[in-house]
Every structure is written in structure tokens, then in C-alpha cells.
A and B are shown apart, each in its own frame.
Chain A
């Protein structure tokens, strides 16, 4: 990733060098009072510095390669009239601005920063307040969105927009942003070969991070907390999900991670803590789940069906009310060498592998699937009894749905702190 940023910077430097850039300063005390004016007189590759102050300007168009840098977070007030910044050129850098008041609309996705058809853009260290959409990227490539904060106070899904929204784009890097109180924290549709790294997405009313029809993406070391639901990955292929934290996604339809119609991903080294459902998988196939921690969730993983050939190996399942919920036949899914805190078997040969298999699906889990309210009987003696009888002679659960080599000690997972 670092390599890519360096490459981009190198290209930018090259551009500015070739065009022998000049720089201008905009400010209330300067000769140039408005940003629009500064942009109008700038040549491609020039730099504009914006002094502290409030700039009330309707939609500012950036239609040539430019570097725009705010000093001390100048306030760009969109006055609720359409987009605030329109980036319509390659190689545009926007840094250090505070953008406020974007028009709300039910028909158009007005955003504080709208990037359209741009390559090699950099949106870095900006703050966005009271924006409808935050950063909207369409038909763009090789851009970086880094270290921005987007704060909203979304109430309903209809009247709110996404924090960072990308559509039909390629090779984006979205890193170290902080998104809070929007509809989706980060939304990606038809976005391929991109990296989402080290972001914090919390208190958003729908998803922390949302993939639609996007392939070959990586998201790494992000934190998703207290969103309507953590991350939704839908209709996508080869998504690499690593070392993220999914926390406190509570509610009747809430989960840490939703997998819907996805293929060939990897879910490695993530932490799922205190979610109603850790992972909800519906039509997810050929995915490798390993080295994840599932702690204190209602369900660790729910498989809804049409899930084929997944490997669930070397994970820790600790203190979940119900470990796994499962529908249908085995379909080539494999549970092997996980640590289950509920496991009550023994290890006579002391090889750290339990000598009797562990069945992670309880009969009660089927009952709850059918009638959710019965959850109130969790851990009652009656439920223990029916679970036990099911364990002795399985009727509802597939006979081979079991971990034949349950671990006696938790898997060591690299500490990210």
C-alpha cells in the first residue's frame, strides 16, 4: 500500500514539475477573496492555499489538475445548494478543508466532495459536517481518500447519505478515515481492486461498510462499532477481510458481518465481540474463515443456506450464547480444529485436541430460528435437556456437522495493539 502512495506522489510531483507550478493564496485579507476566483486564474498543476475563514461559495468546480490546501481548516459553506466541491479532473489534491452544509435531496446524491471521472486524486485530512453524502466518487481510478472525518446525524435511511460512497471505480485506497452518524459509513458499488484500511466507522444507521457488486477488494484493520449492522458484503467476489473489529452490533436484524451471495473470500484474524450475530452468511461459498475471535455474541455464525465449501478452521468461539446456526445439509462446509469454550470433552493423550468431536449446532438453535421469542428460554434446564437428547441421538442436526478435532486451548491470534 505504501508503495502505491509513493507512486502516486511521484506522479503528482512529476506533473507539477513539468508544468512549472505557481502557488496562490486565497483569504479574507488576501488579494484573492474567493476560491472560485483563484481556480479560474490558475493553470493546471498550480497550488492554491486557503487561509482560515469562512467561504460561502456555491459549487466550486475543479476542472484541471490542482493542489488545494486549507490552512487551519478554512470553512467552506455549501449553503445547502448542491455539491460543495466538484472534482472533474485528474490529479487533484484536496487537503485540510472543513466542508459544511450540503443540500439534502431525495433524488440527487449531493455530496461535500464529488469526484467524477478522475484519476490520481487525493482527498486527505478534510473534515465534513452536516453533509448529505460525504465524499462521493464516481467513475474514477487510482485515488486516495485518507484521514478524513465525516460526522453526520442521520435519523432515517431515506433522509441520509453515505459517509464515503464510491461507484464504478477501480484501485481506490480508503484509509484512516473516521465516519460517524451517516447512513452507510463506507459504501462501495462496482468498485474493484481497492483497499479499505484502518478506518473507524461507528454509529451509522445502516452499515459500517457496505460492498455491492465489488470484486477483489481488501479491507484490513478497520473498526466497526455500534452500527445498524457492521459490514455487509453482497454480490461480490474475492473480498479479503482481515484483522477488523466488529463490535456491539445489537438488534433484531443486526450482525457484525453479513455475507450475501459472495464467493471465494477470506475472513482472517477478525474479532467479533458482543454482536447479536457475529457473521450472517446467506449464499456464501468457498470462503476460508480462520484465526477469528468470536466472543460474547448471540450467535457466532449463522448459515442460512446455499453456503458451499466453506472452511471454518482455527477460530476461537468463546462465550457465545449459541455458536452456530445452520440450515440444510453439509454442502462441503468444514469445521475443524476450532476452540469452543462450550466444549466439555477431554484430552487423554494431551495433544491439545479433544478426543471426542464437538457439535456446534444445538437443537435449541433450530427452535429459535423458527420462533425467535423462545430465546427467552436460553440456558433453562428444559432447553439443556432437549439439547442433550439431540446430542445423544441427532434428529434435526446433520450427523456430520461437527468439529472432529476441537482444540483444548484457544488459538493464538496476533495481537494488533
Chain B
């Protein structure tokens, strides 16, 4: 598997798009610091970007890589390799290279502007961790979609739709239903709904780190008790891991019975 990972990784590292992605974050990081030398504010802006963009890029790259490496995959399938090995390797290759573009791209400006001496180092680390998690999650989801649709256009369409649903529509429905049912106690529902969307979960994790948690107190004890404690942090991170493991496992399962 490590060999497949290595080659997928190297393949992507050579591709133009990895560089585009990397430079995008590099430029974003520098621009943020150029516009405001306040690290906290830079982290907040960066959060907004990462929450939206890493899932989108993960989705698009995942689908794109899957379809464009079809021949490579077939070549590998004819070799004495387990399918699990091939797909797990490719999946990790894509996810890792994207995560690295993110961490290094954003990391360079932050290091240059002295993140290590700053108290924002933990916020920054959380942000990077969450960004990597989102990448792994959405690459896995997009691989699932790509495996399910032989047709490239359909696969692309569904992936974008999936992203749109997770990033925007889900929250819209969530907000609407909370406003409709606001006569009922909602905090548990809200908490539950958050856990079922990795983007929301990540956003809340970062918000708590950024000390905007003051607001969560407003809604009562449930949020504060859940997110404000070490247990909440642990649970959130575990849930993010579940969000990686389940789609990845589904993807491998689907790959096992797929015809090429």
C-alpha cells in the first residue's frame, strides 16, 4: 500500500493543480498578514476560508483524480495487488498531498510572521488539524461518488451537489427547522445536527478555540457542557475520525465489488 501511496502522492505532487492549490494558500496567508498584522484576525478569516474551501477542493480533486487515473488504476488492478491496497493507497496519496499543500502553504506565512511565539499557535494548529480532517473526509466521500458513477459528468455533478449540501443547504435546512420549532427545547437537536455534518463540527471546534465560545453560553448549558469540556473536544475529534473512517471503509467495500 505504501508503494501505491508513494506513487499516487508523487503523481499529484507533479501535477499543476497541486501547485495552484499550494500557492493559493501561500498567497492567502501572506495577504492576510499584509492586510492585518493581527494573528487572531488572520486565523478567523482563514477559518472561514478553510471551512468552505478544503471540502470543496477535496471533493473536486478526489473526483478528478479518480476519473483521470482510471487507466493507472486498471494497470494496477492487473498486477498482483489487493484491491484494498490499491484504493487505500490512492486515497491516502490524494488526501495527504492535499493536506500537505494546505499545511505548508498556510504554514509558511504563519511561521514567517512568528506563529511560534504567539498564543495563536494552538488556534492555528487546530485549524490545520481540522483542515486536514476535512480533506480526508471529502476525498473519501468523493471517491465513493466517483466509484458509484461511471459517467464523469454525473460523478462531478453529484460531488459538487454533495459539497453544496454539506456546506450550505444543510445549514439552511437546519436553521429553518430550528426557527420553525423554536417552541421546543432545541439544544439537543442542534447538537445532534451539528455532529452529523463534518463541516459544522469543524466550524464549532475552531470557534470554541477562538474564544467565541462566550456566545455558546447564551444558548444554555448543553452546548457549553459539551463543547466547553475536554470530553467535548475528545468526542468531536473522535467523530471527525469516524467521518474519515466510515466513508473510507465504504469506499473500499464498494471498490471490492466494482467492475473495471
Please determine whether chains A and B interact with each other in the same assembly. yes
By a CB distance below 8 angstroms, the chain A residues around B190 are 373-374, 376
Give the contacting residue for B194; candidates A322, A368, A370, A376; CB below 8 A.
Answer: A376
State whether A384 touches B218 (Cβ < 8 A). Answer: no
Q: With an 8 A cutoff between CB atoms, is A367 at the interface?
A: yes
Which residues of A, 8-49, contact B by the 8 Å Cβ criterion? none
Give the contacting residue for B214; candidates A321, A374, A382, A385; CB below 8 A.
Answer: A321
A-B contact count (CB 8 A): 105
Closest-by-CB residue of B relative to A278 is: B214
State whether B203 touches A367 (Cβ < 8 A). Answer: no
State whether A378 touches B214 (Cβ < 8 A). Answer: no
Give the contacting residue for B179; candidates A250, A321, A367; CB below 8 A.
Answer: A367
Which residues of B, 198-254, contact A by the 8 Å Cβ criterion? 199-200, 203-204, 207, 211-212, 214-221, 223
Closest-by-CB residue of A relative to B215 is: A298
Q: With an 8 A cutoff between CB atoms, is A372 at the interface?
A: yes
Chain A CB within 10 Å, residue with most, of B47, B51, B187, B214:
B214
A372 to B222, CA, bound (A): 13
Q: With an 8 A cutoff between CB atoms, is A252 at the interface?
A: yes
Q: With an 8 A cutoff between CB atoms, is A375 at the interface?
A: yes
Minimum CB–CB distance for A248 against chain B, Å: 9
State whether A370 touches B217 (Cβ < 8 A). Answer: no
Binary per-residue interface labels of chain A (351-372) against chain B in the complex, 1 for a CB within 8 Å, 0 otherwise: 0000000000000000110111
By a CB distance below 8 angstroms, the chain B residues around A299 are 215
For chain A, which range describes its interface: under 10, 10 to 19, 20 to 34, or 35 or more residues? 20 to 34
Closest-by-CB residue of A relative to B188 is: A373
A28 to B70, CA, bound (A): 97
Binary per-residue interface labels of chain A (299-335) against chain B in the complex, 1 for a CB within 8 Å, 0 otherwise: 1000000000000000000010110000000000000
A368 to B98, CA, bound (A): 36
Q: With an 8 A cutoff between CB atoms, is A296 at the interface?
A: yes
Q: With an 8 A cutoff between CB atoms, is A383 at the interface?
A: yes
State whether B200 touches A374 (Cβ < 8 A). Answer: no
Q: With an 8 A cutoff between CB atoms, is A276 at the interface?
A: yes
Count residues of chain B with CB under 8 A from any CB of chain A: 40
State whether A382 touches B182 (Cβ < 8 A). Answer: no
State whether A378 touches B207 (Cβ < 8 A). Answer: yes
By a CB distance below 8 angstroms, the chain B residues around A396 are none
Give the contacting residue for B168; candidates A274, A375, A382; CB below 8 A.
Answer: A382
By a CB distance below 8 angstroms, the chain A residues around B73 are none
Q: With an 8 A cutoff between CB atoms, is B21 at the interface?
A: no
Minimum CB–CB distance for A260 against chain B, Å: 19
By a CB distance below 8 angstroms, the chain B residues around A382 are 168-169, 171-172, 175
State whether A367 touches B175 (Cβ < 8 A). Answer: yes
Q: With an 8 A cutoff between CB atoms, is B178 at the interface?
A: yes
State whether B194 touches A252 (Cβ < 8 A). Answer: no
A372 to B184, CA, bound (A): 12
By a CB distance below 8 angstroms, the chain A residues around B168 are 381-382, 385
Give the contacting residue for B218; candidates A367, A375, A377, A380; CB below 8 A.
Answer: A375
Give the contacting residue for B178; candidates A250, A277, A374; CB below 8 A.
Answer: A374
Q: With an 8 A cutoff between CB atoms, is B256 at the interface?
A: no
State whether B41 touches A381 (Cβ < 8 A). Answer: no
A381 to B172, CA, bound (A): 9
State whether B211 touches A379 (Cβ < 8 A). Answer: no
Minimum CB–CB distance for B34 against chain A, Å: 14
Given A252-B218, A252-B219, the answer on whether A371 and B182 have CB atoms closer than 8 Å is yes
Can you report 11 residue pairs joining A to B where beta carbons are below 8 Å apart? A251-B217, A252-B220, A276-B215, A319-B212, A368-B218, A371-B178, A371-B186, A376-B191, A376-B204, A376-B223, A379-B51
